[in-house]
A and B are shown apart, each in its own frame.
Chain A
Amino acid sequence: MTLKSLLSATALAMLPLGAGAAFAEDLPPCDNCSDSMVLMSWGGAYQASQVAAYAEPYAKLTGVKITWDEGSNEAIAKMRAASEAGNMTYSLVDVEGPDSQRACDEGLAEEIDFDKVLAAAPDGTPASKDFGAAMINECFVPQIVFSTTFGYRTDVKEWNGKVPEDLCAIFDLQTFPGMRALEKRPKKNLEWALLCDGVSKDELYTVLSTKEGVDRALAKLDTIKDHVVWWSAGAETPQLLADGEVVMGSTYNGRLFSAIVEQKQPIAMLWDWEVFDFDGWVVPKGLDEAQKNRVMHFLNFATDTQRLADQAKYISYGPARASSQPLVSKHATLGIEMAPFMPTNPANQKNYLVNNIEWWADNQDAVEVAFQNWLSK
């Protein structure tokens, strides 16, 4: 049961820290700072890794009371509602890259002076350089690189010993019969559909920018529509795979890691055309001075080189800082080498896409309508 694995992952992550613990003297003092924070995140194993890697150490060092809100699924809606009510109740919000773009575009998030707020790498490289490409807009403080990729069951009789070797196995019902799990969102699905419909990586967004391109992608998806279970939470796919409800499905690589390594389910990962994405913090607008000071102080600590490397011990997502990469080693409790499960591992990057945040920010609204309408018909 994946529920169990989720719980156990949480329990593991709750274990006290080993190496890399910070000391109070490392922390600069915080003037005019509030003594509590409300952090919004995703819940589950991911939030647990945040708690273990930096929230708890920070709370221990400063005595700040941290409250969690597992609302990141609807982060923008919640921020907008709080902003309209004139009472911003969240101090810091964990969002995916595209949502950060949206929050930034709509003026819901503060712009951040990265080199002033964030810690430099140990060798002195300024934060903005150290984060590099992960700095997708001026509001977003990246934490991790994750990828959305496919997992499949390794024990499907009907496949006669074959296993999916490339992405387009998803659309091959002949060779790989069975149900698939896909996200109830157009993003990634449309790209994958076009890639398997003969569109090259370079033309992908040119094609997708036309109505015909979207229709073409949906038509490709139509060929498997009756064989798809649509998920809206990342935990669903591992569960569906574990239960045998689907034979393959897309989800975040960290979720598959839990199912395969921690749960020892007969599941394997397919690294082909996985889509890279960033996840990180945005600071909502409308915080009072003390809150803002506290949040900036926390950000400095929580996104430094060591802390981001620590996080990778608890979950198989790559740290967003270049300087953290060499520090990633073994899983905190399982003791296995994390690199093969990391999206940042070159061996896993045969073909890949990087989430085209700008394109999606521009086209999300239009494509989403078309996709949702297609879905409900």
Chain B
Amino acid sequence: MTDQTANGPMLAADGTPLKQSLNRALRRQKLRAFLLIAPLLIFVLVTFIAPIGDMLFRSVQNDIVADTLPRTVAALSKWNAESGAPPEEPVYRALASDLLIAVAEKTHTQLGTRLNYEDSGFSSLLRGTGRDVDDMGEDVTKALVAIDPIWDEPTTWTNLLGEPAWVSAQADWDKAGGKTAEPPFVLSPVAQQNLPLTSAAFADFARVMQTVKNDSPTEKRPWNTVAIGLTEDLKANPAAAGAFGTEWQPALSAIVAAAQMGTIPAANFTAAFTESDKAWATPQPWSIIKIFSPRFTSGYFLNAVDLKMTADGIAPRADSERVYIMLFLRTMILSLAITGTCILLGYPVAWLLANLPPRTANLLMILVLLPFWTSLLVRTSAWKVLLQQQGVINDLLVWAGLVADENRLVLINNQTGTIIAMTHILLPFMILPLYSVMKTIPPSYLRAAKSLGATDWTAFWRVYFPQSIPGIGAGSILVFILAIGYYITPELVGGAKGVFISNRIAYHIGTSLNWGLAAALGSLLLIVVLVLYWVYDRIVGIDNVKLG
């Protein structure tokens, strides 16, 4: 029993507040309920929510530009795409430094593929330039070698720039034949202080040699960017020539002298890039890099609705590239058509099922469910055999004289094929909810209507049909949503014009490997389904959907 004090809360028998007591009692119940749903919850999280989250993330993720071209992206921040002019030399040099690493790591092709989605031709641009980038600035290296042949020796560079302890460790490693782990390159503090450009370029080179190529920096002459760096470092700070001791002084001083006399050519990456591909002399590729340098992008979503991002903002894609809106619409229209034919064909069958004696109904039900027991692929292939021009249906029509032999109907590899095959495959999803709803409509309603003076048709239309609408609703939602996401059947029987948006998603996942676009298309499809569901709820009311 509970007591109520004058104004205080209700108390339980033991004096604790009733609410608290109730909460404690309910908490155990809640915990138990939660434990019961936990397995499903975890399953759904892992198999459904997580992939959808991943998909949404991929559709906006765009790390590759910033990760592959960090220097270029930084250098481009000062450049204004609207100026109409290509950027200055430092940007070209930054791209050269980035590309040298990217080519070694083979990420420039991935980057090319990514940017090709936004501007077709970017892939070949980056590939072509990637092949040339190694030779850019070669004249500087050659000039150094001409001054002193030691600059052709890889070890000259490692000895000059490496920490002495590392130099000896690396020498031991080279001698051992590379059986153990390679000692990671360490810059000497002196080099870092006096030759900053050289050190930075060489550190990149050494890292790439060691980690990507599994090779020793002592085996290969460094990139031209290192030689360029050295020239510029010494030109800017001639005193650095003396910082490495007497042993290095002559060689370095010679470069200082040559640099001051101007016998070493200045590196010109602008020219080198332009020579590799004229496109680099235009602002176009640079603005693409700049636009898509953020780590998140709306590019995939824009692409999914036939738009693209340009320096001037969002713009429609070229006519030949516009396809997705059309495919979304086609998917909707065909799915609606399939839903419609499913209703037309399924309704009478469901009615028959619901009104036959149980024995016969069960037999018929097995026939309805039979398609579920054969594989989708087998059924679809069977449709191929049936529908093709030399197929069973055409043969029958020709035999019956309904169709002339030379005018056989084209029932497959077009939208007709998709509608026919998918109606067959999805029909059970319409019949089953209809059947279970019709089963709950007692025959007495029809009798009542007739006794009240209604003809058979009026009784059906005014009394029976309205009550079967929840079944139509449930069946339509099932069929429509399943249809909208189908791709195997349209792929096999739809030809070029009977394919759905899902076929393009599958294509981008399996063949073109444009997973970002696939994810964006998938997300849009999800959004479309949710919006349709919401509209449906507003119009029909989701309470009016019954599965039985």
- Could you list which residues of chain A lie within 8 angstroms of chain B, going by C-beta atoms? 73-74, 76-77, 80, 102, 104-107, 179, 184, 215, 225, 228-230, 232, 243-245, 361-366, 368-370, 372-377
Complex contact B388–A243 (CB within 8 A): yes
Who on chain B is nearest to A73 by CB? B510
Who on chain A is nearest to B213 by CB? A111
| A363, B323: Cα distance in complex, Å | 20
Complex contact A244–B107 (CB within 8 A): no
Contact with A along B105-118 (1 / 0, CB 8 A): 11101100100110
Who on chain A is nearest to B507 by CB? A372
A362 with B513, Cβ < 8 A, contacts A105-B109, A229-B495, A373-B320 known: no
| A366, B327: Cα distance in complex, Å | 20
Who on chain A is nearest to B125 by CB? A362
Q: Does B511 make an interface contact (CB < 8 A)?
A: yes
A36 to chain B, nearest CB (A): 26
Give the chain A neighbours of B2 by CB distance below 8 A: none
| A24, B67: Cα distance in complex, Å | 50
B323 in complex: contacting residue of A77, A229, A373, CB < 8 Å: A373
Q: Does B360 make an interface contact (CB < 8 A)?
A: no
Q: Among the interface residues B105, B120, B495, B504, which one has the most CB atoms of the partner chain A within 10 A?
A: B120
Nearest 4 A-B pairs (CB), nearest first?
A366-B120, A362-B124, A105-B109, A107-B106
A361 with B511, Cβ < 8 A, contacts A106-B106, A106-B110, A107-B107 known: no
Q: Does B128 make an interface contact (CB < 8 A)?
A: yes
Give the chain A neighbours of B512 by CB distance below 8 A: 365, 368-369
Q: Does B321 make an interface contact (CB < 8 A)?
A: yes
A76 with B513, Cβ < 8 A, contacts A366-B121, A376-B323, A377-B326 known: yes
Q: Does B295 make an interface contact (CB < 8 A)?
A: no
Complex contact A363–B510 (CB within 8 A): no
Q: Among the interface residues A106, A228, A370, A376, which one has the most CB atoms of the partner chain B within 10 A?
A: A376
A363 in complex: contacting residue of B105, B110, B124, B507, CB < 8 Å: B124
B334 to chain A, nearest CB (A): 13
Near A by CB (< 8 A), chain B positions 502-532 give 504, 507, 509-513
Complex contact B123–A245 (CB within 8 A): no
| A228, B497: Cα distance in complex, Å | 12
A77 with B509, Cβ < 8 A, contacts A369-B321, A376-B323 known: yes
Give the chain B neighbours of A362 by CB distance below 8 A: 123-124, 127-128
Give the chain B neighbours of A372 by CB distance below 8 A: 323, 504, 507
| A363, B117: Cα distance in complex, Å | 12
Who on chain A is nearest to B491 by CB? A232
A86 to chain B, nearest CB (A): 15
Complex contact A77–B513 (CB within 8 A): yes
Who on chain A is nearest to B390 by CB? A244
| A244, B385: Cα distance in complex, Å | 12
Q: Does B322 make an interface contact (CB < 8 A)?
A: yes
Complex contact B495–A230 (CB within 8 A): yes
Q: Does B496 make an interface contact (CB < 8 A)?
A: yes
Complex contact A107–B323 (CB within 8 A): no
Complex contact A377–B495 (CB within 8 A): no
Q: Does B231 make an interface contact (CB < 8 A)?
A: no
| A374, B319: Cα distance in complex, Å | 10
| A80, B514: Cα distance in complex, Å | 12
Q: Does B208 make an interface contact (CB < 8 A)?
A: no
Complex contact A105–B106 (CB within 8 A): yes
| A344, B504: Cα distance in complex, Å | 37
Complex contact B123–A77 (CB within 8 A): no
Give the chain B neighbours of A366 by CB distance below 8 A: 116, 120-121, 123-124
| A372, B323: Cα distance in complex, Å | 9
Interface pairs (29), CB distance under 8 Å: A76-B513, A77-B510, A77-B511, A77-B513, A102-B109, A107-B105, A107-B107, A179-B389, A184-B496, A225-B496, A229-B413, A229-B495, A230-B413, A243-B391, A244-B389, A245-B388, A245-B389, A362-B124, A362-B127, A363-B123, A364-B123, A365-B113, A366-B120, A366-B124, A370-B321, A372-B323, A373-B321, A376-B326, A377-B323
Give the chain B neighbours of A229 by CB distance below 8 A: 413, 495
- Could you list which residues of chain B lie within 8 angstroms of chain A, going by C-beta atoms? 105-107, 109-110, 113, 116-117, 120-121, 123-124, 127-128, 320-323, 326-327, 388-391, 413, 491, 495-497, 499, 504, 507, 509-513
A376 to chain B, nearest CB (A): 6
| A89, B18: Cα distance in complex, Å | 60
Complex contact A365–B323 (CB within 8 A): no
Who on chain B is nearest to A230 by CB? B496
Complex contact B120–A365 (CB within 8 A): yes
A376 in complex: contacting residue of B116, B327, B388, B390, CB < 8 Å: B327
A267 to chain B, nearest CB (A): 15
Complex contact A370–B320 (CB within 8 A): yes
| A370, B317: Cα distance in complex, Å | 12
Q: Among the interface residues A77, A243, A366, A373, which one has the most CB atoms of the partner chain B within 10 A?
A: A373
Give the chain B neighbours of A245 by CB distance below 8 A: 388-390
Give the chain A neighbours of B120 by CB distance below 8 A: 365-366, 369-370
| A105, B110: Cα distance in complex, Å | 8
Complex contact B322–A373 (CB within 8 A): yes
A80 to chain B, nearest CB (A): 7
Give the chain A neighbours of B105 by CB distance below 8 A: 107
Who on chain B is nearest to A244 by CB? B390
A365 with B509, Cβ < 8 A, contacts A229-B495, A376-B323, A376-B326 known: no
| A366, B124: Cα distance in complex, Å | 9
| A248, B449: Cα distance in complex, Å | 63
Complex contact A106–B109 (CB within 8 A): yes
Give the chain A neighbours of B388 by CB distance below 8 A: 243, 245
A260 to chain B, nearest CB (A): 19
Give the chain A neighbours of B499 by CB distance below 8 A: 376
Who on chain B is nearest to A374 by CB? B320
| A243, B390: Cα distance in complex, Å | 7
| A243, B412: Cα distance in complex, Å | 14
| A224, B107: Cα distance in complex, Å | 40
Who on chain A is nearest to B123 by CB? A365
| A373, B513: Cα distance in complex, Å | 16
Give the chain B neighbours of A370 by CB distance below 8 A: 120, 320-321
> Told that A102-B109, A363-B124, A370-B120 touch, could you supply 17 new A-B pairs with CB distance under 8 A?
A76-B513, A77-B509, A77-B513, A105-B109, A106-B110, A107-B105, A225-B496, A228-B496, A230-B495, A245-B389, A362-B127, A362-B128, A365-B512, A366-B124, A372-B507, A373-B321, A376-B496
A365 in complex: contacting residue of B116, B322, B504, B510, CB < 8 Å: B116
Give the chain A neighbours of B413 by CB distance below 8 A: 229-230
A78 to chain B, nearest CB (A): 9
Give the chain B neighbours of A369 by CB distance below 8 A: 120, 321, 512
Q: Among the interface residues B106, B110, B323, B496, which one has the most CB atoms of the partner chain A within 10 A?
A: B496
